[in-house]
Chain A
Amino acid sequence: MKKRGKGMGCMWYPIGFTVMANPSAATVKVNEDGTATLITGTVETGQGSLTVLGQIAAEELGISTDDVHVVSADTDATPMDTGAIASRTTYVTGNAIQLAAEKAKNILFEVAAPMLGVRPNQLEAKDRQIQVKGFPQSCLPIGEVAAHAQNGAGTPALGSASYNPPTVAMDPETGQGKPFSTYVYATQIAEVEVDEETGEVEVLRIAAAHDCGTAINPMLVEGQIQGGISMGVGMAIQEEMLFDDEGRQINPNLTNYIMPTSLDMPDLEVDIVENFDPTGPFGAKGVGEPTAVATSAAICNAIYDAVGARIYNLPATAEKVLAAIKSKDRSDRQKYLPAE
């Protein structure tokens, strides 16, 4: 008989490791046509980080994301980056970019202030203009200000900055310290169907609520969460590295290292929990790795809810689940046996 169950998994995850140096750097240059060039070492691997980083630069400069040309991942020409790792890019590289863009913007303010007859701190960058706060009709196109910075004032509008999350060393005696800059939180709920006769688990549905600070690009955040859940589903019930006695992997291929296909994926509901982290760029933290953390816990709790069997090592393959159901049945029966 097939039985259904629901289970929950909750997690927190650290963003911006600080136990060792973890810097990112960027240069932002505002061009005479009102576009900007962002130079950074980080690598796009499909997660959309260059889009998000371009958005951060654009937001700081008051221009459109389409106006930002991103040059990345060439260490001959760009700053070195600690890496597209540890769910750090939006947070660490994003902070460096916001700081760099702010420096370029401040040069534009210095140049535009006498042109508009105000002090630099009375200016803001918005709608592709440098404008007086509260008086947007008093404005100059950002490209015109950049051209004047270059050709008139002689102070080209560019800024370079780096960001390294603040470090509090771990005390070797107590283990106390501040190993990470900030944290994200998530809860996932899984609904499964377990076949009691075969132990086979089907994941029917997963609802995932994730905090990532400000979701700078909600569509990409959703994509990260959906992808992370597919990795979590694989980890929970399918993906297993098997080794022989010599330590050689006996399933080093996709024929028998089984990862989720479109047919294995449950219906997904993603909920991005709005939040603002004051240490992140425009309140953002990170989203990459945390997405896969809660899934297997939620699925194993759902299996327990369905058939009362606890799985303590992953993946919860059909044979492990069936063995757990059978040993539970034995111990249930023993409860009713008279003591000798």
Chain B
Amino acid sequence: MTDVTLTINGEERSASVPPETSLLRLLRDEFYLTGSKLGCDVGDCGACTVIVDGMPVNACLMLAGQVDGRDVVTIEGLATLEDLHPIQKAFEEFASLQCGFCGPGVIISAKGLLDRNPDPTKEEIKDALSGNLCRCTGYTKMIEAVQDAARILRGEKEAA
């Protein structure tokens, strides 16, 4: 068994798991954080995207042991009891999601981008979302929502 202690959404958590356990399985099966989705489990679809030490990664491609001592942000870490995160709000306002399965991964990828680059171009947004497959939407409304959320996070626009 591998002992792991990590920070998830600001809270220190520990688990003891078999060494082959992926970060995704750790999050979903040990901590019941099922917002990160298990899609392809081989790094193609991006539905499991989480932020590790500030960078978006596919949680299915990382071993639980690799995140020992590191900082992980999942989709559950974005909203507060009072309010959605500005990116989540923008996705709602722009009807950016349809079936929604890709949503947690897409929103986490967008957060990873905006944390590093608060004023991205449309091409930079497309690039940041390119690891997240979406079958329903054609991505257009997601890109518009990320642009809008960026304006709100930069303080250029009031949140709706």
What is A's interface to B at a CB cutoff of 8 Å? 45-48, 219-220, 222-223, 226-231, 253-255, 259, 261-263, 265, 268
The residue in chain B whose Cβ has the minimal distance to the Cβ of A234 is B135
A227 partner, pick from B45, B126, B127, B137, beta carbons under 8 A: B137
Judge whether B99 is part of the interface by a CB distance below 8 angstroms.
yes
CB-contacts of B105-141 with A (<8 A): 125-127, 129-141
Query: Cβ of A255: which chain B residues have Cβ within 8 Å of it?
Result: 42, 44
Query: Cβ of B137: which chain A residues have Cβ within 8 Å of it?
Result: 223, 226-227, 230
Query: Cβ of B19: which chain A residues have Cβ within 8 Å of it?
Result: none
Judge whether B143 is part of the interface by a CB distance below 8 angstroms.
yes
Number of A-B contacts (CB under 8 A): 72
Of the A-B pairs whose beta carbons lie under 8 Å apart in the complex, a sample of 13, sorted by A's number, is: A47-B98, A222-B141, A223-B98, A230-B135, A253-B40, A254-B40, A254-B44, A255-B42, A261-B132, A261-B139, A262-B130, A262-B134, A262-B142
A262 contacts B40, CB within 8 Å?
no
A268 contacts B140, CB within 8 Å?
yes
Q: How far is the CA of A222 from the CA of B96 in the complex (A)?
A: 11
B142 contacts A227, CB within 8 Å?
no
A226 partner, pick from B44, B126, B141, beta carbons under 8 A: B141
The residue in chain B whose Cβ has the minimal distance to the Cβ of A217 is B95
Interface centre among A219, A220, A223, A268 (most CB of B within 10 A): A223
Q: How far is the CA of A265 from the CA of B44 in the complex (A)?
A: 17
A226 contacts B133, CB within 8 Å?
no
Q: How far is the CA of A229 from the CA of B132 in the complex (A)?
A: 18
Q: How far is the CA of A268 from the CA of B143 in the complex (A)?
A: 12
Chain B interface category by residue count? 20 to 34
Judge whether B100 is part of the interface by a CB distance below 8 angstroms.
yes
Q: How far is the CA of A253 from the CA of B139 in the complex (A)?
A: 21
B138 contacts A46, CB within 8 Å?
no
Interface centre among B95, B97, B132 (most CB of A within 10 A): B95
B42 contacts A253, CB within 8 Å?
yes
Given A45-B99, A46-B100: A262 and B136 interface contact (C-beta under 8 Å): no
Query: Cβ of B40: which chain A residues have Cβ within 8 Å of it?
Result: 253-254
B135, chain A: closest CB distance, angstroms: 7
Query: Cβ of B140: which chain A residues have Cβ within 8 Å of it?
Result: 226, 265, 268
A46 partner, pick from B45, B97, B127, B133, beta carbons under 8 A: B97
Chain B: interface secondary structure? loop
Query: Cβ of A226: which chain B residues have Cβ within 8 Å of it?
Result: 137-141
Q: How far is the CA of A261 from the CA of B130 in the complex (A)?
A: 5
Query: Cβ of A219: which chain B residues have Cβ within 8 Å of it?
Result: 95
Given A253-B40, A254-B40: A263 and B127 interface contact (C-beta under 8 Å): yes
Q: How far is the CA of A220 from the CA of B136 in the complex (A)?
A: 12
Query: Cβ of A45: which chain B residues have Cβ within 8 Å of it?
Result: 98-99
B95 partner, pick from A220, A231, A262, beta carbons under 8 A: A220
What is B's interface to A at a CB cutoff of 8 Å? 40, 42, 44-45, 95, 97-100, 125-127, 129-143
Q: How far is the CA of A63 from the CA of B73 in the complex (A)?
A: 42
Q: How far is the CA of A229 from the CA of B139 in the complex (A)?
A: 11
The residue in chain A whose Cβ has the minimal distance to the Cβ of B94 is A219
Q: How far is the CA of A229 from the CA of B98 in the complex (A)?
A: 15
The residue in chain B whose Cβ has the minimal distance to the Cβ of A226 is B138
Q: Add 19 more A-B contacts to A254-B133, A268-B138 (CB < 8 A).
A: A46-B97, A46-B136, A47-B98, A219-B95, A222-B141, A223-B95, A226-B139, A226-B141, A227-B138, A228-B138, A230-B139, A254-B40, A259-B135, A261-B130, A261-B132, A262-B125, A262-B139, A265-B139, A265-B140
Query: Cβ of B142: which chain A residues have Cβ within 8 Å of it?
Result: 262
Q: How far is the CA of A46 from the CA of B97 in the complex (A)?
A: 7
Query: Cβ of A268: which chain B residues have Cβ within 8 Å of it?
Result: 138, 140
B138 contacts A253, CB within 8 Å?
no
Query: Cβ of B127: which chain A residues have Cβ within 8 Å of it?
Result: 262-263
Given A45-B99, A223-B141, A262-B130: A253 and B44 interface contact (C-beta under 8 Å): yes
The residue in chain B whose Cβ has the minimal distance to the Cβ of A220 is B95
Q: How far is the CA of A259 from the CA of B98 in the complex (A)?
A: 17
A254 partner, pick from B45, B125, B129, beta carbons under 8 A: B45
Given A262-B126, A262-B130, A263-B127: A48 and B95 interface contact (C-beta under 8 Å): yes
Query: Cβ of B44: which chain A residues have Cβ within 8 Å of it?
Result: 253-255
B81, chain A: closest CB distance, angstroms: 23
Query: Cβ of A261: which chain B residues have Cβ within 8 Å of it?
Result: 129-133, 139
Query: Cβ of A222: which chain B residues have Cβ within 8 Å of it?
Result: 141
